[in-house]
Amino acid sequence: MDIEELKAKIPSETVRQYVLDTGWTFTDMQRAALLYHSGLPLEQQCSWLRTVRDKTKDECLRKQITEYLNLKEQGFQAFKENEDRRHIYVLRIKDENEGQYYQIQPQGYFFRWDAAYACGKQSGYPFQIEKCATCDEERASDDNDSSVAALDFSADGKASYLWSREVPFDAERDGSFTYSFYEVPNPFERGDVVRLAGETEDYGIIETSQQHWREALERYKNPKKFPPDYSDVQIRVGFLNEDGTFSHAHINPIALERYHPDDSPMDKLLLCASDLYKGKGSLDELYYFTMEYRQFKEKC
C-alpha cells in the first residue's frame, strides 16, 4: 500500500506512522474493509475497490466486491428514477452545531434529484437528499415512513453514503468484507491522550489496554466460539464533555491521533485523567482540575 492510499484509508497520522515504522502489511480483505469504512467519497471508494478486486487472488473477496459495486450502481440508478413523479426529493442541509440534518423550508422539495443536488451544493454545506414516496406504496414501511432512499453529500457535492430500500444492499452482511472483523493497527495504550483525526475538537483518554486488545485478538482466532464482527474492531475512549465529565465511546483506532497537551485548563484536566487511567494521580486532583476547567468554560 503506497503512502497516498494509506492516507486515504487511515485518517490518523499517528496510526499511519505506526504502520510505516512496524512494516505492517494488510491482506486484500483488510484493504477492502478499510476502504468500505474509510468515509471516502463513494466514487473514489468504488474506484479503489475495483482495483483491489482486479488484483486479488481471493475469489470469495472478488465476488463480494463485485456484488457490492453492482448493488451500489443499481441503487444510484434507482435513486435517480422519478419520471412518474411518485416520489419527491427532500433536501436537508447539515446543521454543524447539532451534527444533524434539518429540512429547508419551503424550497426543500423537488421532483428532480438533480435540482435538489444543485440547490444543496450551492449551500456550501454538507447535505442529504432523501427520496420519499408521495402516496402509500408497498415499499413504505408499516410505520408510515415514506422514505425509500437517501444520499449524503460532502460540502463540495461528492456523494459519501447511499441508503436504499429500492435496492437492498444484501452485500452488507455477516461474512462480507463490509461487516467482518479485521485486525487493525493499534498503537495506543490505556491512558494515552488522543483526539479524533481531522478537523475536530474531540479529545479523550484511551480506556482499552494493549493487554486487553491482544487477548481479544487471540479469542477471535476461534470465530466459531467467539464470532466477532465490525464492532469488535473498535476500542473504548473516554471523551471529554463540555462540563468536564467524560463519556465513553467505541472508536476504530485508525480514527484516533495522539494529542500532546500543554498548559491550558482543558489539557491539565486531560493529563490528570490520563494519570488516573495509568494508576497515578488522585481524585482530589481530578476534582480540582475539573472545577478549573468549568470556570474556564464559563468565561468563554
Q: What is the pLDDT of residues 171-207, one digit of tens each?
A: 556 568 887 777 899 999 999 999 999 878 899 999 9
Return the pLDDT at 77: 95
Task: Calculate what percentage of the chain has a pLDDT beyond 70.
Answer: 89
pLDDT band of residue 123 (cuts 50, 70, 90) is confident
Burial group, residue 122, by CB count within 10 angstroms (0-12, 13-18, 19+): exposed
DSSP category for residue 232:
G
Task: Calculate what percentage of the chain has a pLDDT beyond 90.
Answer: 63
Q: How far apart are CA 218 and CA 226, in angstroms?
A: 10
Taking Cα atoms as reference points, which of 11, 14, 1, 7 lies closest to residue 187?
14
pTM of the model: 0.77
User: How confident is the prediction for the chain on average, in pLDDT?
Assistant: 87
Q: Check: CB of residue 132 under 8 Å from CB of residue 149.
A: no
